[in-house]
């Protein structure tokens, strides 16, 4: 059956009608822009181009979504080292776990529960866009990387030695932004607070990082996490502007120091900021009042002695 | 993230901005061409001359500078970030922004109070005005809230929101930048596009007919109907 | 380089005005009976001395209307400038509010018929025409009419500034006080401050006849014109958000009829006709010293009988019939030839094109301690003893200079005595001739002035030039252009929302 297009058929009818009544000759001298048509095209562009993670390369996908918790041959982070993972469990189980980690745990799968314990109770999150095909592609990538002597996903090597004061100071400068990030990312202070920062504190869009060193269970995890920040807000920003390993080292040093100094987290907004802003606004009111002090108020009322 | 929330994000941050812009352009052009007479703000200064000052001046000057701030960050995000690199400069910028935002808020509240309290001014206030004042109040108040509870917006706006805005400009919306933003930020963004969509139906159109030729036009204006001559 | 333009100009003869407000009512009924215009009086009649409408409009320290000279001696607007326009656009710092005019009202007449039966007579309370609420009337368009409330209103007339305390006392003294009427419409100025101030370019002066209009579609309610016009003759329609002003009834003029206020004037005080003037001199004249303004303004008006001017006018596109009309113009005679009509407040430098014949105040006795005291034993007292002090008239019509007022009044006085010599005979013709000579007035001129001021017919007073609208339309578009395509469509009314 021929496809029925209501739009086309109505237009066809309209054009026939136009010809019949002779409107063609009258209106053709004043062509009206087809704004509605353009609007539809614009709209459809908007809808079609909603970007998802689907079309990305597997390697980049691994880097952005897996590396904050896993290495290949770099040892355990929050999640296990994935070197030769396909030898530990079969493909089917792995795919099922990766696409729905909580499902297997809830189902009481023994291996899955053991993994949960190994990660001190942290359950792998469900990654957007990770379907069976993607999981298979990832497993294939991991197998390929597992046979290499040093995988590109071996993770960041971070020293076990204690950091010195200059590392900590550098980390602090990177955090506040006085030492700009090499790849042009926004400084940590933009969104994060730590206990000892500045007059008005750090940003409050992201979580307080005073105790992040402890939450992330130490240097190695923290460093890996910083290598490819995986939260929904940070990923798109730092995907294009990643931190360098030097920067990561400095930040880890600083955050470790802050955590060990034992400051408290603080989620209250800065009253000082509000009060100073309010003072500025009041100053502004006084300023405009004096600039326009000559402004017309009334002539008749003062003349007849009414109170102005 | 539930799929419903994901769907809402798609709707609000990938589709709605385009809908808003299309409405904005279509209706603005239609109104300018078809209903030129209405293309201005209905001034009520004549009916009430004194409280008018305390609403109009703070609100307009405040909102103009706040908007300039948004536009500069939109156009020059890298420069804003490097300005903010020094904590002192960041605080200076944020304080200025906070002062201007509160200045705007005071003005807007004065506008609304005046509209409510003066019976003469109420007569020339249309339903669309009330809706507009509500939208603007939500916009300015949510802006102040975000600046206060989610600092430092001047930095993260440039880093996370501007790329999303540019993805809209490039007609390939990438909502991952803002999908995880706090509610107040999302409200501020969505309400901004609601204002844009509502813009051509309201008195806001007066922004588009700012007296731009005045500074360079001749002092006197003469119109000739018959023989054309240079005035 | 001379730039000849034509301007429909007006003369109001104040000695003939009886203050009946018929002009105002005619105008109101034709043009300003719409919502938002109730308070507007494109034509109003003020009592002088008095504060006028809006209250004390002549106090430019408050209202900041008109032009002033900057340090370079160039005329600049008092209320705005290219630099200040944006900063002052949100809140116009020189804008009066409705309270300085008055809140328009009507009465609850309905209640007179529909009130339930009761012990008291039903009343019709005043209702605001803005809000519809009951209101107390505090002011009106003629609140100080005929010196009503003169202790407050007349005493605060800004024109009293140049007067000695003694003269001011006289103006207040019982049986010595005096007033005259001052009807006002838009002056359709040559250097209009309203036009110069409009940020949108909505106000304009029509090239062919000089009528100043507001383009209602381009007006964006920025309100600059309201403050810029020193005569406060541009009004803000609070309902449509547009400025409105006297349009000199151009639809009537274009069909050969006099404007409504002119047509209805019972005192026949109004004259209308074309003047040719040199537009290239506007800026130069507007920059003159106060003392030179009247003479310079008058010198811009060109002689329509001069063959060179006639040729130049035709080169500038002024139709032969308009030049002919300018030659018959009563305004040209009164302003340029006879010099008896003077511009109001020319120190505002808008170069108004409505001129006034100043009033003589011939009653000369005063009562003191129960006895009638003759100010003068002559039939006509000296001008210096006028009940309306020359200094007061000089504030109104002479930019502070008494000389042009004195000249005009001497001439008018001489003509009166000359006519008296001819009709009554208690003045000798020789004495009258001597007075005429002193007033620089020939007998022919005296006869002409007499005829034009007392025996004037409709056609003498209103010499309306053909407007040639048919040509104007053909210049704008080919009449064939719309063939087949027009005939139905929509015309939007002045509606918002």
Domain boundaries defined on chain A: 6-48, 55-146, 165-261, 272-304
- Reported as a single tens digit per residue, the pLDDT across C316-327 is 889 899 999 999
Determine contact: A44 vs chain B, CB below 8 A.
Answer: no
Nearest CA to CA, how far is C144 from chain B (Å)?
Answer: 22
C221 Rama sector, left if φ>0, alpha if ψ -120 to 50, beta otherwise: left
Q: What is the pLDDT of residue A216?
A: 80
User: Of A294, A298, A303, which has the smallest distance from its Cβ to C156's Cβ?
Assistant: A303
Q: What is the pLDDT of residue C372?
A: 65
Determine contact: B59 vs chain A, CB below 8 A.
Answer: no
A14 against B14, higher pLDDT = B14
Determine contact: C25 vs chain A, CB below 8 A.
Answer: no
Q: What is the pLDDT of residue C90?
A: 95
Q: What is the pLDDT of residue A22?
A: 38
Whether residues B215 and C82 touch (CB distance < 8 A) is answered with yes
Which of A226-230, B179-183, C459-463 is the most confident on average? C459-463
Model confidence band, residue C194 (pLDDT cutoffs 50, 70, 90):
very high
- Reported as a single tens digit per residue, the pLDDT across A41-52 is 555 444 444 444
Which of C154-168, C207-221, C375-389 is least confident? C375-389
Residues of C in contact with A21 (CB under 8 A): none
Q: Where are the domains of chain C?
A: 7-105+121-359
Model confidence band, residue B171 (pLDDT cutoffs 50, 70, 90):
very high
Q: What is the pLDDT of residue A27?
A: 36
Nearest CA to CA, how far is C332 from chain B (Å)?
Answer: 23
Determine contact: C191 vs chain B, CB below 8 A.
Answer: yes
CATH code, C7-105+121-359? 3.30.70.20
Whether residues A300 and C54 touch (CB distance < 8 A) is answered with yes
User: Distance between CA atoms of C123 and C110, rounded to whole angstroms?
Assistant: 9
User: What does the block give as tokens for C385?
Assistant: 């003893």
- Residue listed under structure tokens 């810029």: C228
- Reported as a single tens digit per residue, the pLDDT across A60-74 is 788 777 877 788 887
**Subunits adjacent to chain B (3 or more Cβ pairs under 8 Å):** A, C
User: Of B47, B60, B221, which has the smallest distance from its Cβ to C205's Cβ?
Assistant: B221
- Residue listed under structure tokens 């990660």: A119
Determine contact: A7 vs chain C, CB below 8 A.
Answer: no
Whether residues A274 and B85 touch (CB distance < 8 A) is answered with no
Model confidence band, residue A124 (pLDDT cutoffs 50, 70, 90):
confident
User: Of A294, A295, A299, which has the smallest distance from its Cβ to C100's Cβ?
Assistant: A299
- Reported as a single tens digit per residue, the pLDDT across B138-170 is 999 999 999 999 989 999 999 889 999 999 999
Instruction: Check pLDDT > 90 for residue C190.
Output: yes
Q: What is the pLDDT of residue C487?
A: 57
Mean pLDDT of A260-280: 86
User: Distance between CA atoms of A189 and B89, rounded to whole angstroms?
Assistant: 13
Model confidence band, residue A6 (pLDDT cutoffs 50, 70, 90):
very low
Instruction: Check pLDDT > 90 for residue C34.
Output: yes
Determine contact: A45 vs chain B, CB below 8 A.
Answer: yes
B84 against C17, higher pLDDT = C17
Instruction: Check pLDDT > 50 for residue C196.
Output: yes
The domain total for chain B is: 1
Find the closest chain B residue to C3 by CA distance: B231
Q: What is the pLDDT of residue C440?
A: 95
For chain C, what is the mean pLDDT? Answer: 91
Whether residues A300 and C100 touch (CB distance < 8 A) is answered with yes
Q: What is the pLDDT of residue C363?
A: 63
- Reported as a single tens digit per residue, the pLDDT across C295-317 is 999 999 999 999 999 999 999 88
Phi, psi of B180 (to 5 degrees): -100, 15
Residues 6 or more apart whose CB falls under 8 angstroms from that of C399 comprise: C290, C291, C293, C294, C345, C346, C347
User: Of B21, B87, B95, which has the smallest distance from its Cβ to A277's Cβ?
Assistant: B95
CA distances from A200 to A275, B147, B149, B154 (A): 12, 12, 12, 14
Q: What is the pLDDT of residue C453?
A: 95
Where is C245: in which H helix or E strand?
strand C242-245
Whether residues C139 and A294 touch (CB distance < 8 A) is answered with no
Nearest CA to CA, how far is B222 from chain C (Å)?
Answer: 5
- Reported as a single tens digit per residue, the pLDDT across A170-181 is 998 899 888 888
User: Looking at the DSSP assignment, which residues form a beta bridge with residue C483?
Assistant: none
Model confidence band, residue B123 (pLDDT cutoffs 50, 70, 90):
very high
Q: Are A181 and B155 in contact (CB under 8 A)?
A: no
Fold entry, domain A55-146: Cytochrome Bc1 Complex; Chain D, domain 2 (1.10.760)
Model confidence band, residue C375 (pLDDT cutoffs 50, 70, 90):
low
Q: What is the pLDDT of residue C364?
A: 60
For chain B, what is the mean pLDDT? Answer: 92
A229 against C294, higher pLDDT = C294
Q: What is the pLDDT of residue A286?
A: 98
Count the neighbouring beta carbons within 10 Å of the beta carbon of residue C361. 19
Instruction: Check pLDDT > 90 for residue A229.
Output: no
Residues of B in contact with A36 (CB under 8 A): 26
Mean pLDDT of B46-74: 97
CA distances from B131 to B66, B110, B137, B205, C389 (A): 22, 16, 10, 15, 59
Q: What is the pLDDT of residue A279?
A: 97
Nearest CA to CA, how far is C218 from chain B (Å)?
Answer: 7
Q: What is the pLDDT of residue A201?
A: 81
Whether residues B176 and A283 touch (CB distance < 8 A) is answered with no
Q: What is the pLDDT of residue A118?
A: 81
- Reported as a single tens digit per residue, the pLDDT across C215-273 is 999 999 999 999 999 999 999 999 999 999 999 999 999 989 999 999 999 999 999 99
Q: What is the pLDDT of residue C60?
A: 96
CATH number at residue B36: 1.20.950.20
- Residue listed under structure tokens 């296990």: A80
Determine contact: A294 vs chain C, CB below 8 A.
Answer: yes
Model confidence band, residue B13 (pLDDT cutoffs 50, 70, 90):
very high
Residues of C in contact with B210 (CB under 8 A): 86
Model confidence band, residue C461 (pLDDT cutoffs 50, 70, 90):
very high
Residues 6 or more apart whose CB falls under 8 angstroms from that of C356 comprise: C11, C12, C13, C14, C182, C341, C342, C343, C344, C396, C397
Residues of C in contact with B128 (CB under 8 A): 497
Instruction: Check pLDDT > 80 for residue C432.
Output: yes
Whether residues C223 and B45 touch (CB distance < 8 A) is answered with yes
Q: Which of residues 194-233 of C touch B (CB under 8 A)?
A: 195-196, 198-201, 203-208, 216-223, 226
User: Looking at the DSSP assignment, which residues form a beta bridge with residue C75?
Assistant: C69
Residues of C in contact with A292 (CB under 8 A): 91, 93
Determine contact: C51 vs chain A, CB below 8 A.
Answer: yes
Instruction: Check pLDDT > 60 for residue A40.
Output: no
Nearest CA to CA, how far is A253 from chain B (Å)?
Answer: 20
Q: What is the pLDDT of residue A10?
A: 43
Residues of B in contact with A178 (CB under 8 A): 85-87
Q: What is the pLDDT of residue A7?
A: 41
Fold entry, domain A165-261: Cytochrome Bc1 Complex; Chain D, domain 2 (1.10.760)
Whether residues A296 and C93 touch (CB distance < 8 A) is answered with yes
Instruction: Check pLDDT > 70 for residue A30.
Output: no
Instruction: Check pLDDT > 60 for residue C125.
Output: yes
Mean pLDDT of C446-461: 95
Q: What is the pLDDT of residue B71?
A: 97
Determine contact: C97 vs chain A, CB below 8 A.
Answer: yes
Residue B231 within a domain: no
Residue B205 within a domain: yes
A28-60 burial code (b ≥16 CB/10 A, e <16) = eeeeeeeeeeebeeeeeebeeebeebeebeeee
Determine contact: B123 vs chain C, CB below 8 A.
Answer: yes
Determine contact: A303 vs chain C, CB below 8 A.
Answer: yes
Model confidence band, residue A55 (pLDDT cutoffs 50, 70, 90):
very low
């Amino acid at each position: 059956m021929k496809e029925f297009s209501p739009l086309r058929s109505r237009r066809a009818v309209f054009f026939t009608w136009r010809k019949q009544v002779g409107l063609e000759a009258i209106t053709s001298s004043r062509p009206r822009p087809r704004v509605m048509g353009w609007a539809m095209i614009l709209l459809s562009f908007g809808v079609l181009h909603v970007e998802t993670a689907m079309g990305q390369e597997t390697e980049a996908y691994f880097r952005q979504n897996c590396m904050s918790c896993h290495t290949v041959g770099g040892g355990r982070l929050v999640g296990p080292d994935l070197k030769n993972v396909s030898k530990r469990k079969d493909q089917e189980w792995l795919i099922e776990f990766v696409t729905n980690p909580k499902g297997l745990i809830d189902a009481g799968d023994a291996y899955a529960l053991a993994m949960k314990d190994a990660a001190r109770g942290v359950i792998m999150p469900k990654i957007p866009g990770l379907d069976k095909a993607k999981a298979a592609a990832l497993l294939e990538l991991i197998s390929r990387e597992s046979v290499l002597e040093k995988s590109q996903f071996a993770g960041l090597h971070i020293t076990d030695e204690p950091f010195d004061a200059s590392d900590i100071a550098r980390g602090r400068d990177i955090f506040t932004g006085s030492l700009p990030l090499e790849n042009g990312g926004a400084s940590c202070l933009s969104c994060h607070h730590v206990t000892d920062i500045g007059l008005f504190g750090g940003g409050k869009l992201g979580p307080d990082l005073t105790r992040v060193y402890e939450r992330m269970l130490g240097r190695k995890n923290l460093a890996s996490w910083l290598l490819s920040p995986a939260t929904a807000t940070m990923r798109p920003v730092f995907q294009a502007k990643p931190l360098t390993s030097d920067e990561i080292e400095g930040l880890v040093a600083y955050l470790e120091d802050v955590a060990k100094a034992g400051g408290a987290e603080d989620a209250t907004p800065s009253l000082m900021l509000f009060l100073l802003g309010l003072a500025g606004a009041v100053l502004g009111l006084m300023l405009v009042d004096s600039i326009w002090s000559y402004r017309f108020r009334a002539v008749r009322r003062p003349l007849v002695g009414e109170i102005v | 993230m539930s799929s419903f929330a994901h769907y809402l994000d798609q709707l609000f941050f990938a589709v709605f901005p385009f809908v808003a812009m299309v409405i904005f352009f279509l209706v603005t052009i239609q109104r300018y061409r078809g209903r030129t007479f209405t293309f201005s703000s209905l001034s009520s200064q004549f009916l009430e001359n004194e409280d008018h000052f305390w609403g109009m001046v703070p609100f307009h000057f405040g909102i103009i500078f706040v908007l300039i701030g948004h536009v500069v960050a939109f156009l020059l995000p890298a420069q804003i970030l490097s300005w903010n690199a020094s904590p002192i400069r960041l605080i200076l910028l944020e304080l200025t922004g906070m002062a201007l935002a509160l200045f705007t808020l005071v003005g807007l509240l004065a506008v609304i109070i005046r509209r409510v309290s003066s019976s003469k001014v109420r007569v020339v206030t249309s339903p669309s005005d009330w809706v507009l004042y509500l939208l603007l109040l939500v916009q300015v108040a949510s802006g102040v809230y975000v600046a206060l509870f989610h600092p430092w917006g001047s930095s993260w706006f440039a880093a996370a929101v501007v790329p999303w805005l540019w993805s809209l400009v490039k007609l390939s919306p990438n909502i991952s930048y803002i999908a995880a933003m706090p509610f107040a930020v999302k409200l501020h963004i969505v309400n901004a596009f609601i204002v844009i969509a509502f813009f051509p139906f309201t008195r806001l159109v007066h922004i588009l007919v700012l007296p731009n030729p005045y500074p360079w036009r001749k002092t006197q204006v003469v119109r000739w109907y018959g023989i054309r001559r240079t005035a | 380089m001379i730039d000849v333009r034509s301007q429909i100009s007006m003369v109001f003869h104040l000695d003939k005005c009886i203050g009946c407000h018929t002009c105002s009512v005619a105008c109101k009924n034709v043009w300003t009976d719409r919502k938002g215009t109730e308070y507007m009086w494109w034509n109003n009649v003020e009592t002088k001395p008095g504060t006028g409408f809006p209250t004390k409009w002549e106090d430019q320290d408050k209202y900041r209307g008109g032009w002033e000279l900057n340090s370079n001696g160039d005329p600049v607007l008092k209320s705005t400038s290219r630099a200040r326009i944006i900063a002052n656009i949100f809140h116009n710092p020189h804008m009066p509010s409705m309270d300085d005019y008055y809140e328009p009202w009507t009465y609850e007449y309905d209640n007179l018929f529909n009130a339930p039966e009761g012990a008291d007579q039903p009343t019709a309370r005043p209702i605001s025409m803005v809000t519809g609420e009951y209101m107390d009337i505090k002011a009106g368009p003629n609140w100080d009419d005929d010196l009503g409330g003169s202790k407050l209103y007349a005493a605060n007339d800004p024109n009293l500034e140049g007067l000695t305390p003694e003269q001011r006392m006289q103006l207040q003294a019982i049986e010595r006080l005096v007033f005259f009427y001052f009807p006002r419409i838009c002056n359709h100025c040559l250097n209009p401050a309203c036009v110069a101030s409009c940020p949108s370019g909505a106000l304009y002066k029509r090239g062919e006849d000089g009528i100043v209009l507001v383009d209602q579609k381009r007006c964006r309610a920025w309100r600059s014109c309201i403050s810029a016009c020193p005569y406060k003759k541009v009004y803000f329609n609070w309902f449509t958000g547009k400025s409105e002003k006297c349009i000199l009834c151009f639809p009537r003029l274009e069909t050969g009829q006099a404007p409504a206020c002119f047509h209805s004037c019972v005192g026949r005080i109004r004259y209308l006709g074309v003047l040719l003037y040199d537009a290239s001199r506007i800026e130069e004249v507007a920059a003159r010293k106060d003392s030179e303004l009247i003479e310079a303004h008058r010198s811009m008006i060109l002689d329509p009988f001069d063959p060179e001017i006639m040729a130049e006018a035709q080169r500038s596109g002024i139709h032969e019939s308009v030049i002919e009309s300018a030659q018959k113009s009563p305004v040209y005679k009164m302003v340029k030839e006879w010099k008896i009509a003077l511009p109001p407040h020319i120190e505002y430098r808008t170069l108004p094109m409505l001129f006034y014949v100043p009033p003589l105040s011939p009653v000369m006795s005063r009562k003191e301690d129960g006895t009638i005291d003759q100010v003068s034993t002559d039939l006509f007292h000296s001008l210096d003893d006028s009940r309306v002090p020359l200094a007061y008239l000089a504030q109104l019509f002479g930019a502070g200079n008494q000389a042009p007022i004195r000249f005009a009044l001497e001439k008018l006085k001489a003509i009166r005595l000359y006519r008296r010599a001819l009709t009554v005979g208690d003045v000798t013709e020789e004495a009258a001739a001597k007075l005429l000579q002193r007033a620089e007035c020939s007998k022919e001129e005296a006869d002409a002035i007499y005829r034009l001021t007392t025996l004037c017919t409709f056609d003498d007073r209103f010499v309306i030039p053909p407007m040639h609208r048919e040509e104007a339309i053909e210049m704008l578009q080919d009449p064939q252009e719309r063939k087949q395509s027009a005939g139905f469509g929509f015309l939007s009314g002045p509606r918002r929302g």
